[in-house]
Structure 1
Amino acid sequence: MKSVDESRGTMPFGGITVLLGGDFRQILPVIPYGDRSQILSACITRSRLWRIYKIFQLKKNMRLNKGNSCKEIEDLNQFAKWVLDIGDGKVNPTQNQNDSFEEDDIEVPAQFCDLNNINSVDNMIKNTFPNFLENWNNPKYLSERAILTPTNQTVGHLNSLIVDKVPGESFSYFSVDSAEDFGGTDDDLHSAFPIEYLNSINISGMPYHELKLKVGVVVMLMRNLNQSLGLCNGTRMIVTKCLKFCVECEVICGSFLGTQHFIPRIEICPSDTRMPFKLVRKQMPLQICYAMTINKSQGQSLENVGLFLPKSVFTHGQFYVAITRVTSPKGLMVFIDDDTGNPTNKTQNIVYREVFYALPTME
C-alpha cells in the first residue's frame, strides 16, 4: 500500500478497513496448558492495535426463532436474557441452607434438566435423537441435533455407542502414522516410538487411527479441503458410500446442502504439540459427530442440543457456547452428573470477567 500512497506505509493494515467479528462471551484463544492470565494475554483486547478499533455492538440474538404467540415471544426473550447473563457471569445460584455452592457454581433451571432419570446414553439419545432407529439416515433430522460435552474422551465414547445402534455393515479405516523431525537417529526413533505407540496417540484436531464408519453415519470435516465447494472445517455430512480408500459423503447443512463429495486420505499434522517429534497421520479428515466437543460446536445452529456434563466445563465461555447453539429453549436439555454420578442441576459456569474490562458497557 506504500506504493499507492506514501502515508499508508505507517498506517495499520496499510490504511485498509479491516472488519473483525466475535463474541468475548465465547471461548477465548486456546493456549495448551495455559492458565487464566496467559489466555487473557492472548486476547486481542491486550493488543496495541485494540485502541484504534471502533466497536459496534450487536444486540439481537439472530439464532433464536421469532415466536408465533405472545407467550412464545416472552419465553424467547427470557431465555435470551438468561443466556446473556450466563455469558456475563451474572447468574447466581439460589442460596438455601441445605445447599453448598462454590465459586462459579450456577443452578440450571429445572425445565432444562431431567432429574428423575440417570444420565445414561440411552436417555440422552431418547431426548436428543427421538425415534432414532426410524430416522437414522434422514439428513434433515440428523443435521438438527447433537450431543455436546467438554472432552474428546467422552465424545469418542458416546459416538461409538451411537454408531453401534446404526444398522448396517461397519467399515474400519486405519491410518498410516509416521514420525518426522526427530533429533536422534532412525534407529533411536523406531525403538523409542514404535508404530503401535504412534497409532495409540489421540490428539485434539486429528482423526483417530481407526475410523469406524457405516453408511448413514454423520461425520464432520476436520480440515478445509475445497472452500469453493463448501468442504470446510466443521462441515457436517452423512456417509453415503464406503469404498476401499475413501468414502462418499453428502453435505447436510449450509448453502451446499445435498451435494456429494469423495473424501480421500490426506496427511495431517497436529498444529501444536509438545511431543519430541512431528507426528504425521495419513487418514480421512473426518470425525463422527452425533456427539461433539463444545469447542468444536462453535458456529453450529441446532434445533435439539443435549449438553452432557459428567464433569463441569473447564474454561471461559464453554457453557455459554453450548446453550447458544439452540434455535429455541425447547430444544435444550442439560444432563449434569454430581460427584456420585447422580443427576443434578448444579454445575460451574467459568467466566473470566477481566476480558470485558476493555469493552464498552452495553447500552
Structure 2
Amino acid sequence: MTSVDPERASLPFGGITIIFEGDFRQILPVIPKASRAQVVSASLNSSKIWDHCRVFLLEKNMRLSSGKTEQEKHEIAEFRRWVLDVGNGTLPNVHPDDIISDPEVVIPDKFMIRARENPLKAVVDVVYPDLAKNIKNADYLRERSILTPTNAIMGDINSYILDQVPGEEHSYFSQDSLVDSEGDNNDFGSVFLIEYLNSINMPCLPKHHLKIKEGCVIMLMRNLNQIMGLCNRTRMIVKRCFPNSIVCDILTSSQVGTTHIIPRIEMEPSDTQ
C-alpha cells in the first residue's frame, strides 16, 4: 500500500479498513489451561492495534424487538435492559465485600421458571407449548429455541423433546477409528478399543449415537456450502431419514425452505490432545 500513500506503511493492515465484530464482554479468546491474566492479555482490547480501532455499538436487540401487545413490549424492553445491565456489570453484587470471586447478581423471579419435580418439562412447556400439535408448523419452530450452558444439559433437553415428537426414531452410529500421525507401523491403535473411542464426548465432535426423527429440528455444525445456505449453526427440519444421509429443509437464513441432502461426513477433532 506504500505505492498508494507512503504514510500507510506505519498503519495497521496498510490502512485498509478491517472490521472486528462480536460481543467481546462474553466471547473471550480460548486458551487451554490459561490463567485469567493470560486470557485478558490475549483479548482484542489488549492488542497493540486497539488504539487504532473505532468502536461502534449495536444498541438494539433484534431478537427482543417483537411484541404483540403493549404489555408484551414493556416486558421485552424491561428484560432487554436487565440483560444489558448484566453485560455492563452495573447490577449490585450479592457479596459486595468479596473482590476476589466473580460477582453474583440476583435474577428476578419474573425472569425465571421454577419447577421442583420436572424442570425439563417446565422449560419445554413454556418455550414449546402444544409441541405435538405444532410440530409441522415451520413458523412455530423457527421462532423458538432453548440455549444451554453445557453439552450435558443440551443432551438432556434434546432427548426429552425428541420423546415428545411423534414418529419413528432413527439411530445413527459413528464409525470411530484412531489416526496415528506418526505412521501405521506400530501398535498404537490397538491400545484403544472401539468401545473406548465410542465413549469419547468432545465439544467439536458429534456423539457416537445420534437419535433423530422426521420432523425434528437439527443444527448444522460445519460449513458445507455457504452459497446454498449450508453454514455452521444453520437450523434445519428433518424430512426423510436414510441409512447414510438425511433430507432436510432449511429453517433459517436466506435459503429458508430449500431442501438439501446431508451425507455422512468424515471429521477429525480440532483438539490435537
Q: Which residue of 2 aligns with 1:258?
A: 257
The letter of the residue matching 1:254 is S
Q: What SS class does the counterpart of residue 176 from structure 1 fall into? A: coil
Contact 2:94–2:103 under 8 Å retained in 1: no
RMSD: 2.5
Alignment of 1:202-351 (within 5 A): 202-274=201-273
Instruction: Report the alpha carbon displacement of residue 181 of structure 1 after superposing the two structures with TM.
Output: 3.3
The letter of the residue matching 2:54 is K
Q: Which residue of 2 aligns with 1:178?
A: 177
Q: Which residue of 1 aligns with 2:20?
A: 20
The letter of the residue matching 1:62 is M
Describe the superposition over 1:233-262 as per-residue Cα deviations: whole angstroms up to 9, x where unpaired.
Answer: 000001000012100001111211111100
Q: Which residue of 1 aligns with 2:105?
A: 106
**Residues in 2 aligned to 1:66 and 1:210: alpha-carbon distance in whole angstroms:** 38
Instruction: Report the alpha carbon displacement of residue 220 of structure 1 after superposing the two structures with TM.
Output: 0.3
Describe the superposition over 1:39-92 as per-residue Cα deviations: whole angstroms up to 9, x where unpaired.
Answer: 222211111111111222333333322556665554444322211111122222
Instruction: Report the alpha carbon displacement of residue 103 of structure 1 after superposing the two structures with TM.
Output: 5.1
The letter of the residue matching 1:140 is D
The letter of the residue matching 1:232 is C
The letter of the residue matching 2:234 is T
The letter of the residue matching 1:12 is P
The letter of the residue matching 1:40 is V
The letter of the residue matching 2:25 is R
1:80 aligns with 2:80: yes
Instruction: Report the alpha carbon displacement of residue 104 of structure 1 after superposing the two structures with TM.
Output: 2.1
**Residues in 2 aligned to 1:62 and 1:139: alpha-carbon distance in whole angstroms:** 20
**Residues in 1 aligned to 2:198 and 2:3: alpha-carbon distance in whole angstroms:** 52
Distance 1:231 1:3, change over 3 A: farther
Question: As a proportion of its length, which structure holds more strand?
Answer: 1
**Residues in 1 aligned to 2:126 and 2:69: alpha-carbon distance in whole angstroms:** 25
**Residues in 2 aligned to 1:64 and 1:18: alpha-carbon distance in whole angstroms:** 29
Distance 1:76 1:232, change over 3 A: same
Q: Which residue of 1 aligns with 2:65?
A: 65
Q: Which residue of 1 aligns with 2:192?
A: 193
Contact 1:182–1:189 under 8 Å retained in 2: no
User: What's the TM-score once normalised by structure 2's chain length?
Assistant: 0.86
Contact 1:251–1:257 under 8 Å retained in 2: yes
Contact 2:115–2:122 under 8 Å retained in 1: no
Q: What SS class does the counterpart of residue 236 from structure 2 fall into? A: strand
The letter of the residue matching 1:42 is A
The letter of the residue matching 2:84 is L
The letter of the residue matching 2:259 is Q
**Residues in 2 aligned to 1:270 and 1:155: alpha-carbon distance in whole angstroms:** 20
Higher relative contact order (CA 8 A, sep 6+): 1
**Residues in 1 aligned to 2:170 and 2:215: alpha-carbon distance in whole angstroms:** 12
Q: Which residue of 2 aligns with 1:322?
A: none
Q: Which residue of 2 aligns with 1:30?
A: 30
**Residues in 1 aligned to 2:157 and 2:63: alpha-carbon distance in whole angstroms:** 27
**Residues in 1 aligned to 2:213 and 2:187: alpha-carbon distance in whole angstroms:** 39
**Residues in 2 aligned to 1:74 and 1:165: alpha-carbon distance in whole angstroms:** 33
Distance 1:123 1:64, change over 3 A: closer
The letter of the residue matching 1:225 is L
Describe the superposition over 1:171-203 as per-residue Cα deviations: whole angstroms up to 9, x where unpaired.
Answer: 111222222234476553222212222121111
Q: Which residue of 2 aligns with 1:99?
A: none
- Give the paired residue count: 268
Contact 1:206–1:222 under 8 Å retained in 2: no
The letter of the residue matching 2:45 is T
Instruction: Report the alpha carbon displacement of residue 94 of structure 1 after superposing the two structures with TM.
Output: 6.9
Q: Report the identity percentage.
A: 47
**Residues in 1 aligned to 2:272 and 2:185: alpha-carbon distance in whole angstroms:** 21
Distance 1:200 1:48, change over 3 A: same
Distance 1:191 1:67, change over 3 A: closer
1:91 aligns with 2:88: no
**Residues in 1 aligned to 2:235 and 2:78: alpha-carbon distance in whole angstroms:** 31
Q: Which residue of 2 aligns with 1:318?
A: none
**Residues in 2 aligned to 1:140 and 1:14: alpha-carbon distance in whole angstroms:** 46
Q: Which residue of 2 aligns with 1:126?
A: 125
Q: What SS class does the counterpart of residue 106 from structure 1 fall into? A: coil
Contact 1:226–1:232 under 8 Å retained in 2: yes
**Residues in 2 aligned to 1:179 and 1:9: alpha-carbon distance in whole angstroms:** 48
**Residues in 1 aligned to 2:3 and 2:188: alpha-carbon distance in whole angstroms:** 51
